[in-house]
Structure 1
Amino acid sequence: MKKMSSGMVSIELIRQGEPEPIYNAAVVVGRGEDAQIFLSDSGGRAEFQYPAPPEELSLMKSSEIRPYSLCEIQISAPGINETYYTGCQVFPGINTVLRCEVQPKIKSVIKKKKTIRIPAHGMWAHSPNNKDGGAFSRELDSVEQIMPVLCKNMLGTPDFLTVHLGRADENALDITVSFSDYIKNISSGILYPTWPEEALRAYILSLISEVRKRVKTGYYRNLKYNFDMAAEKYARYFDGRMTFEPINRITDELICWHLSADGCLLISPWEYVFLTQKGLKSEEILKHLSGGDIMFCQYRNTEQADFTETVKKGCAGSEVKAVQQCLNRIAIHYLTIPFIKDTEGYFGSCTESAIKAYQQQFGLDDSGFIDKTTWQSITYAANAVNKYRNTGRDANTEASLRKKSVIFLGDTGQEVVRLQHFINSISRKFGKRCVPPVLISGEFDERTRDSVNKYQKYKRLPQSGAVDKKTWSMLYDDIADFASIIQKPKKHPGMPVVKGSEGENVIFIQGALNSISKVLKGNGGLNIDGIFGGETEKAVTEVQILFGLQSNGEVDEKTWHALSAEYMDLAGIVSARGYYAEG
């Protein structure tokens, strides 16, 4: 007998407006006698396998059978409103990710169970063989509709979009989402995740490019709407839709790239699949569809939306929410900046305190207001810590891990200080209920041991309360946001450039440092004289701290590549090739 196909469903539970996960929530899958119950772990996660139809159904345009199964999920726990999801789609061999923001209960308010009805997948909704009917049958218009041609090679899209949850002329809510989450959401509604990866890569890059053009040209705002995107004939954002791991991963890889081409490449997604089946790679598909006239360009993300007026305490809106989310990304690495729990777009006392702390950290006027200079500085810093933070797996880290000894209750010193900083960073990422924060004292006290125990429990390590090599390794990996930079735009001179050096390399370094300083602080403070003195050393150290590199004031190969890439990026020089990873 043929073994039945199945897919994985990963539930991520958090309280609305809070970064902390929900522990021990009941996740009920299905109904009646067939229902299964799972409990969320300390990270708010619950995973289970679910039956799914054979993969070949999703590779046939004329399939008469829906190529995915539908899963019903009910979530309940003390202190939250019961939430029910219907229409969650499961494909064979694919990890479906459902991120659930549930509402906390308010004693004075009686609320009924909340039901989220996920619409049918766009491919199946418009299939002539779809006989499902009901609420899931025709949620979208044809995805084969081609978007109007907009101006090409437009760079600089904000990290966050205001999205209208309906057509532009419909009465619907506006929400703020990140650009990458928007792409993941709509891609998961119009692409089957079981399709060949080359087809997915080509279509997602086309989609990123077209959405970026529409936002950058202010299509909806020029029509006097107060949002960036609305439901289109090719895609509709649905708040609460599941996403799929292959689509999420590819979007993360390609989000900083766009196409420069005449015309629009958003034709039927099936055409991408058919070209892949003929043996074409993603780059070849895009060149074929564009007639060969195409460039692959890197997105220059330092060109952000400007604040036209000062934003201060008492204000509200998508701009405030964008700043709050950027500050929280930065706060993971700068412990002087407080974490903002409520990032719903209201400028309150917590946001004001975080902005003042940020301004003090980076040498800006600590007014507590968001002006153009502060906004550009915050968005640049948020992108920098995402791009370059690499306290995880490089050769230096591996060497230091081999040298580390076990530390435990009663120990003191610099390694304990490092551990306590790591604990507090992880506490901010995963929530203090998972890993409680500690006092930075340099003493391995009971409170530090308790946090280590909870971290080890969270990571399914033996709960010894001592930090051995395996625990150190996990800590390093968890505080790393992204791997170090991939591109090396300017060749390193072959040896570190240090204090006392002179010449063209120093001039280049000083120019790069001034470009970064202008974005962060509003001015470039170094005299470009080609002499590596104390001020240059200090500026190098500050940038190394921002990028998460070894902060010794020396420009080694890694620091050189980071400075080189940023200098080119800020100067408007973008790479036109090489976005495809090997393998």
Structure 2
Amino acid sequence: MKKMDTNQVDNGKLQVQVSSLPQNHPIDQASVSISYTGDPQNILEELTTDNNGRTPVVELPAPPIDYSMAPNENQPYSEYTIKVNASGHEPVEISGCQLLPDSTAIQPVQLNPETPENPFMDIAIAAHTLYYEYPPKIPEDEIKPVDETGEIVLSRVVIPEFVVVHDGAPGDPTAANYYERYRDYIKNVASSEIYATWPDATIRANILAIMSFTLNRVYTEWYRNKGNDFTITSSTAYDHKWIHGRNYFDSISQIVDEMFSNYLSRPNVRQPILTQYCDGNRVTCPNWMAQWGSKYLGDQGYSTIQILRNYYGQDMYINTAEEVSGVPASWPGYNLDIGASGPKVSQIQDQLNAIAAVYSSIPTTNQDGTFTENTQHTVQAFQSLFGLPASGIIDYPTWYKIQDIYVAVTRIAELT
């Protein structure tokens, strides 16, 4: 039996981000209290959200960083309970928010409007897969047959807007289904499966494996072809660990935003590869990626593709999806910077102004189709608020982040 370590010698950072359901708009002046999950009555921080729905970033105690650098009997993260109250909304309590040392944890909180039908929401975040013993993955073929009669297969690889997560084993009829935006789903899984303290190349390799596995489920309509109404499950025996309501980590979030349209391929195989993996400590998995092993390779300076090929073979390569679903317009194929002009600039200015109407720390920009210093300042404010490098240049990650936030704030999601 593993044990909770009380020797909190390092610090991690935490920010709570509060928004409303179903509009996804930030909630100003929400009251947020933070306490140890083991001592919920002892309030450590009392915070208030700003007009962007964000609390200040606070430093809180965390275990020694060494605990997350090798398999350890001591819990490598501290756990906090977060209580959120806002006028006109039902309160939420989240217990078990995980904080790693030298990392910034982001805890999203979505509040329902206050009605008799919306009860108090209590979310308990389950333990991390590398600390708690979950069922090991049941092996499957990494390439699915697509020539069976009645097989449902997409004609091309598309990044979905949503995935439907069945929160349990495939055959569990009592498990709830959750509609999750694709990038949010990947951030949740990566934060549940690996540690944000690991080397950058290791994090990227694991995120690519998670995305490729997920897109294989999407592309082959694996569960829907079996008569189910979901995309993927939260069971480690069948898929990845996804934890309802959990926090994610800023470093993982940035990498997902940069790489979200990528997946892993083999020559002459159209579908994304079902890249299976295991922890490599409690469970061994020849020909799959070992999570702890990938960490040690990252320590030795292996690149992302070298880590992946070490486990999956030299014929594995990184591919890019042909289409991103649910966005108003596709990436123009080049960066937008000062001096750029045309309909793509005009569209992005319109989208930034719509976002600025909701997030007041972002200044509006001229909507004239010309990328000026005025537009650059707006882009920099957007990048700073949403965790991107504040270059003022609309590169690939920034373009799709603008699309993502624009859709979130201008359309009430039909699936919530």
Instruction: Tell me whether the two structures share a fold, i.e. TM-score over 0.5.
Output: yes
Shift of 1:148: 3.5
Q: Which residue of 2 aligns with 1:410?
A: none
Contact 1:174–1:227 (CA<8 Å) still a contact in 2?
Answer: yes
Partners of 2:180 and 2:169 in 1: CA distance: 17
> Against the structure 1 CA distance between its residues 475 and 150, is the aligned structure 2 distance closer, same or farther, given a 3 Å change threshold?
same
- 1:239 pairs with 2:239: no
* Partner residue, 1:66: 75
Q: Residue 474 of structure 1: which of 377, 380, 403 is its match?
A: 377
Deviation of 1:53 after TM superposition, in Å, equals: 0.9
Partner of 2:4: none
Question: Is 2:371 the counterpart of 1:428?
Answer: no
Distance 1:111 1:285, change over 3 A: closer
Q: Are residue 48 (structure 1) and residue 58 (structure 2) matched?
A: yes
- Alignment of 1:89 with 2:89, yes or no, is no
Specify whether residues 104 and 389 from structure 1 end up closer, same or farther in structure 2 by C-alpha distance, changes over 3 A only.
farther
2:212–2:274 CA contact under 8 A, matched in 1: no
Alignment partner, residue 275 of structure 1:
297
Q: 1:470 to 1:37 in 2, by over 3 A?
A: farther
**How much does 1:431 deviate?**
4.5
| One-letter identity of the residue aligned with 2:213 | E
Give the C-alpha shift of residue 154 in structure 1: 6.8
Partner of 1:396: 339
Q: TM-score, normalised by structure 1?
A: 0.52
Q: Partner amino acid for 2:142? A: V
Rounded Cα–Cα distance in structure 1 between residues aligned with 2:129 and 2:198: 14
- Whole-Å separation in 2 of the counterparts to 1:4 and 1:14: 32
Distance 1:77 1:285 in 2: 46
Question: Hey, what does 1:57 align to over in structure 2?
Answer: 67
**Contiguous gaps of at least 5 residues in structure 2:** 1-6, 146-154, 267-272, 280-290, 365-371, 387-392, 398-402, 404-416
* CA 265–277 in structure 1, closer or farther in 2 if over 3 Å, else same: farther
Count matched residues: 339
Structure 1 pair 115–387 and aligned structure 2 pair: CA distance change class (3 A)? farther
- Residue identity opposite 1:275 in structure 2: L
Worse-matched range after superposition: 16-25 or 166-175? 166-175
Contact 2:193–2:241 under 8 Å retained in 1:
no
Structure 1, residues 405-435: CA drift from partner, whole Å, max 9, x if none? xxxxxxxxxxxxx99x96x744532555x54
Kindly state the Cα deviation for residue 32 of structure 1 after the two structures are TM-superposed: 3.4
One of 124, 144, 158 as aligned partner of 1:117: 124
Amino acid at match of 1:27: V
Q: 2:143 aligns with which of 139, 147, 150?
A: 150
Q: Deviations over 1:435-491 (max 9, x none)?
A: 4xxxxxxxxxxxxxxxxxx767x9xxxxxxxxxx997643243568983359xxxxx
- Aligned partners of 2:338 and 2:373 also within 8 Å: no
Cα offset, 1:288, TM superposition: 1.5
Q: Please name the residue that 2:161 is paired with.
A: 159
Taking the aligned partners of 1:100 and 1:387, their CA distance within structure 2 comes to 33
Look up the SS of the partner of 2:213 in the other structure: helix
1:294 to 308, 316, 321: 316
- Asked if 1:484 corresponds to 2:395, the answer is yes
Q: CA deviation at 1:263?
A: 7.3
Q: Is the 1:148–1:264 contact (alpha carbons within 8 Å) kept by the matching residues of 2?
A: no
Structure-2 residue corresponding to 1:80: 89
Using a 3 Å threshold, how does the CA distance of structure 1 residues 427 and 90 change in structure 2: closer, same or farther? same
Contact 1:26 1:37 in 2 (8 A): yes
Give the alignment's TM-score, normalised by structure 2: 0.72
Q: 1:10-32: per-residue Cα shift (whole Å, max 9, x none)?
A: 11111111132111111111143
1:208 match: 211
1:238 Cα deviation from its structure 2 partner: 2.4
The counterpart of 1:251, out of the listed 252, 256, 267, is 256
Describe the SS at the equivalent of 1:87.
strand
CA separation of 1:57 and 1:80: change in aligned 2, threshold 3 A: same
Q: Find the aligned partners of 1:203 and 1:455 in 2 and give their Cα distance.
A: 33
CA contact (8 A) 1:146 1:264 kept: no
Does the aligned pair in 2 maintain the 1:21–1:430 contact within 8 Å? no
Where does residue 230 of structure 2 map in the other structure?
227
Query: Judging changes above 3 Å, is the alpha-carbon distance between structure 1 residues 263 and 89 closer, same or farther for their aligned structure 2 residues?
Result: closer
Cα deviation, residue 9, structure 1: 0.9
Richer in helix (by share): 1
Distance in 1 (alpha carbons) for counterparts of 2:164 and 2:296: 34
Q: Is residue 7 of structure 1 aligned with residue 6 of structure 2?
A: no
In structure 1, the residue corresponding to 2:18 is in which secondary structure? Answer: strand
CA–CA separation in structure 2 for the residues paired with 1:297 and 1:110 = 45
CA distance in 1, matches of 2:8, 2:157: 49
CA deviation map 1:532-553 (0-9, x unaligned): xxxxxxxxxxxxxxx9xxxxxx
Question: Match for residue 286 of structure 2?
Answer: none
Distance 1:71 1:479 in 2: 29
Counterpart in the other structure of 1:284: 306
CA change 1:264–1:473 in 2 (3 A) is closer
Distance 1:221 1:57, change over 3 A: same
Consecutive unaligned residues in structure 1, runs of 5 or more: 127-139, 305-325, 331-380, 401-417, 436-453, 459-468, 487-546, 548-583
> Residue in 2 aligned with 1:180?
183
Inter-partner Cα distance in structure 2 for 1:91 and 1:164: 27
**2: CA distance between counterparts of 1:286 and 1:223?**
30
Contact preservation (8 Å) 1:208, 1:255: yes
Change (3 A) 1:479 1:280: closer
- Give the Å deviation of 1:203: 1.5
Q: Secondary structure at the match of 2:223?
A: helix
User: 1:69 corresponds to which letter in structure 2?
Assistant: S
Q: Counting strand residues as a fraction of each chain, which structure ranks higher?
A: 2
Question: Cα 1:299–1:471, aligned 2, differ >3 Å: closer, same or farther?
Answer: closer
- For 1:33 and 1:186, locate their aligned partners in 2 and report how far apart those are by CA, in whole Å: 30
Distance in structure 1 (CA, Å) of the matches to 2:185 and 2:117: 32
Q: One-letter code of the match for 1:141?
A: P
Amino acid across the alignment from 1:217 = T
Percentage of matched positions with identical amino acids: 23
Residue pair 1:15, 1:102 contacting (<8 A) in 2 also: yes
Question: Could you tell me how far 1:86 is from its partner in structure 2?
Answer: 0.2
CA distance in 1, matches of 2:96, 2:304: 31
Classify 1:154/1:192 alpha carbon distance in 2 versus 1 (closer, same or farther; 3 Å). Answer: farther
SS of 1:222's partner is helix
Query: 1:178, CA displacement in angstroms?
Result: 2.3
Please report how far the alpha carbon of residue 215 of structure 1 lies from its aligned counterpart in structure 2 after TM superposition: 1.7
Secondary structure of 1:122's aligned partner: coil
- The answer for the alignment partner of 2:277 in structure 1 is 266
Taking the aligned partners of 1:3 and 1:231, their CA distance within structure 2 comes to: 30
3-state secondary structure, aligned to 2:94: strand
